[in-house]
């Protein structure tokens, strides 16, 4: 199958790996648990305009991901597995669109699309982000769709036509990007649109660009308004201010979280590009490439370079912010390695070269496996992490899996080997999570089961900020109260004689002994039944 249809092969391998990962590891608190809670509350309320978290308007993210999950639930019913497959399906779509864009940029190269899909599956950060219930894979889909439309718009302009359809498609991609993660889509797409005359094949004249781009932006704004205007009206003043300023332009000028220095993304580039860009063959090919005369390579440079610059200038920075740019690296690799024997058996000489080619990535993973093996046999202390890696022998098993994976990789040509290293490493890590106490400690299900057994008339969470971690797992149908101090907690207890208090031990908490203590994210959560409270406490309060 890899020879006949490498795109389908890459997508299927990724989806199988992601599905196994979902079965092995729990939802990741606090992001994945929060987003499924928002989708669950949208399902309960039937309100698809204004998302809610803990049954209060949620303005941090637009609704597209939550819409997608609820569309899937219309078919499958409410299901955690089905919801968690939405992210991987978007990631698979991104691989397919990357292959399409590659074939459009270099139509004379018959196999470039297959190489691009394999290369994208060979980027560990991309497949990790794509296996999560997050916004990066859906955003990558909108970016790729927008670039495909820009390429089509350039072809229309070369033929002397305005190109209403591709520019409308570009506007639709912008709108979907806004509905996915907000105005940040402009960082990913607008530079490529503004510099279209530079990277287009026939160097289009600048004079026709403003009108065409204005039409595309207007089309995108009109589509966004179909959600934004009614949501702003029905969501109330606070929600309106949040979506129009606080969560868009406000985040760019002053980060509310994740503030990091300007050089952060430069420092993590080796991690972002592992293992694909760790191959000497790719670097040698890059040194010989005709970057100035190849329109596709020019686009990739504009795409990645502008995003790297713009995100470096913003206050907040996270590793996954540049995930939508990783398809550009896959496109570059697909173009530069067009003369490599990717699918055919290698000669003895080529085999030796392939082994040396993967040596940097293999050595890096080998060093990590050696550290894990030492920890697995007890020769290296784990400190505070020791309770998570129980049984400790799982670390030794993981190290052996990684070593076996590295051995298999050196037997494969470049891009399939990169994919094997990336997906194999992801699967091995998910197995490690699934067979150790990590899966239990980070799972919301034990706490959700305890809540469901009690069937309280109200639930309060104390001692820390509540991010709706248990709303989906416990299928809660009413908000969780969050008393800020002992006085508020006492008033809540008096109003809920059959309630349940949940919270971290050692902070704000009831005065009597908890009915149950559960470890969650490395801390003890206590569960107090209000019915167990001392009678004087309940009567006095």
How do 459-462 and 56-57 pair as beta strands? unpaired
Q: What is the rounded CA–CA span in Å between residue 400 and residue 113? A: 34
Lowest mean pLDDT among 151-165, 332-346, 458-472: 332-346
Q: What is the model's pLDDT at position 202?
A: 72
Tokens of 172: 């639709």
Place of tokens 């067979």: 435
Confirm if 137 and 320 have CB atoms less than 8 A apart: no
Helix/strand/coil for 462: strand
Spatial CB neighbours of 280, under 8 Å, sequence gap ≥ 6: 356, 357, 360
Tokens 């399409």 -> residue: 100
Rounded mean pLDDT of 324-337? 96
| Cα 359 from Cα 299, distance rounded (Å) | 30
Q: Each residue of 438-477: pLDDT tens digit?
A: 999 999 999 999 999 888 889 999 988 999 999 999 999 9
Burial of 71 (0-12, 13-18, 19+ CB in 10 A): exposed
Instruction: Indicate the pLDDT class of residue 346, thresholds 50, 70 and 90.
Output: very low
DSSP string, 404-451: HHHHHHTTS-HHHHHHHHHHHHHHHHHHHHHHSTHHHHT-SHHHHHHH
**Domain definitions of the chain by residue range:** 6-336, 348-437, 445-540
| Other C-beta atoms lying within 10 Å of the C-beta of residue 284 | 12
What backbone torsions phi and psi does residue 524 show, to the nearest 5 degrees?
-85, 125
What pLDDT digit, counting tens, does each position of 472-500 carry?
999 999 999 999 888 899 999 999 999 99
* The model's pTM: 0.93
Residue partners of 182: CB distance under 8 A and separation at least 6:
61, 62, 247, 248
Query: Nearest-CA neighbor of 169 among 267, 97, 118?
Result: 97
Query: How far apart, in Å, are the Cα atoms of 406 and each of 298, 360, 416, 419, 420?
Result: 34, 11, 13, 12, 9
Range picked from 22-26, 292-296, 481-485, 523-527 for highest mean pLDDT: 22-26
Q: What is the DSSP letter of 154?
A: H
CB-count exposure of residue 366 (10 Å: 0-12, 13-18, 19+): middle
pLDDT for 540: 45
| pLDDT band, very low/low/confident/very high, at 356 (cuts 50, 70, 90) | low
Position 296 scores a pLDDT of: 95
What is the reported pLDDT for 349? 47
Flag whether pLDDT at 223 surpasses 90: yes
Residues in the chain: 541
Region of poorest pLDDT, from 49-63, 145-159, 347-361, 525-539: 347-361
Query: How far apart (Å, rounded) are the C-alpha atoms in residues 84 and 95?
Result: 18
Distance CA 173, CA 192 (A): 13
Q: pLDDT per residue over 112-142, tens digit each?
A: 999 999 999 999 999 999 999 999 999 999 9
The yes-or-no verdict on residue 56 having pLDDT over 70 is: yes
| 292-322 b/e (C-beta count within 10 Å ≥ 16 → b) | eebbbbbbbbbbbebbeebbbebbbbebbbb
As a whole number of angstroms, the longest Cα–Cα distance in the chain is: 85
Task: Give the span between the Cα atoms of 299 and 293, in whole angstroms.
Answer: 11
What tens digit of pLDDT does each residue of 429-439 get? 999 999 999 99
Query: Is 80 exceeded by the pLDDT of residue 342?
Result: no
């Amino acid at each position: 199958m890899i020879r006949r249809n490498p795109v389908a092969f890459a997508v299927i391998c990724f989806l199988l790996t992601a599905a196994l990962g979902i079965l092995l590891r729990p939802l990741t608190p606090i992001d994945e648990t929060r987003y499924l809670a928002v989708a669950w509350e949208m399902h309960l309320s039937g309100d698809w305009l204004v998302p809610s978290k803990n049954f209060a308007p949620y303005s941090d993210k637009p609704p597209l991901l939550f819409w997608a999950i609820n569309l899937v639930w219309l078919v499958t019913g409410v299901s955690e597995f089905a919801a968690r497959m939405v992210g991987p399906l978007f990631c698979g779509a991104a691989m397919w669109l990357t292959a399409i864009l590659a074939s459009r940029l270099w139509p004379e190269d018959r196999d470039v699309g297959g190489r691009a899909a394999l290369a994208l599956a060979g980027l560990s950060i991309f497949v990790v982000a794509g296996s999560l219930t997050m916004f990066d894979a859906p955003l990558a889909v909108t970016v790729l769709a927008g670039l495909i439309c820009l390429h089509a718009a350039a072809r229309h302009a070369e033929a002397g036509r305005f190109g209403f359809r591709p520019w409308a498609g570009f506007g639709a991609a912008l709108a979907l990007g806004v509905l996915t993660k907000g105005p940040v889509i402009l960082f990913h797409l607008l530079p490529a649109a503004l510099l279209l005359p530079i990277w287009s094949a026939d160097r289009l004249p600048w004079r026709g660009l403003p009108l065409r781009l204005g039409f595309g932006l207007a089309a995108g704004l009109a589509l966004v308004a179909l959600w934004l205007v009614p949501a702003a009206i029905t969501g109330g003043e606070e929600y309106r201010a949040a979506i129009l300023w606080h969560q868009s332009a406000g985040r760019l000028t002053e980060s509310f979280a994740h503030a990091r220095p300007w050089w952060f993304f430069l420092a993590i580039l080796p991690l972002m590009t592992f293992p694909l860009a760790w191959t000497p063959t790719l670097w040698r090919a890059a040194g010989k490439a005709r970057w100035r005369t190849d329109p596709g390579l020019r686009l990739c440079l504009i795409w990645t370079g502008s995003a790297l610059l713009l995100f470096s200038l913003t206050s907040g920075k996270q590793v996954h912010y540049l995930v939508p740019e990783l398809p550009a690296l896959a496109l570059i690799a697909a173009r530069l390695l067009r003369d490599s024997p990717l699918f055919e058996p290698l000669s003895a000489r080529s085999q030796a070269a392939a082994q040396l080619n993967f040596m940097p990535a293999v050595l890096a993973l080998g060093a990590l496996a050696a550290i894990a093996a030492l920890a697995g046999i007890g020769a290296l202390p784990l400190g505070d992490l020791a309770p998570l890696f129980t049984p400790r022998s799982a670390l030794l098993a993981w190290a052996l899996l990684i070593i076996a994976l590295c051995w298999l990789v050196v037997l494969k040509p470049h891009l399939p080997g990169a994919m094997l290293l990336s997906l194999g490493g992801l699967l091995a890590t998910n197995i490690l999570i699934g067979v150790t106490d990590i899966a239990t400690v980070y799972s919301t299900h034990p706490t959700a089961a305890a809540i469901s057994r009690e069937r309280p008339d109200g639930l309060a969470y104390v001692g820390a900020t509540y991010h709706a971690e248990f709303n989906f797992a416990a299928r809660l149908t009413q908000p969780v109260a969050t008393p800020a101090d002992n006085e508020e907690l006492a008033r809540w207890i008096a109003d809920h004689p059959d309630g349940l208090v949940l919270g971290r031990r050692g902070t704000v908490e009831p005065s009597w002994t908890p009915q149950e203590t559960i470890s969650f994210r490395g801390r003890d959560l206590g569960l107090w039944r209000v019915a167990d409270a001392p009678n004087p406490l309940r009567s006095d309060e």
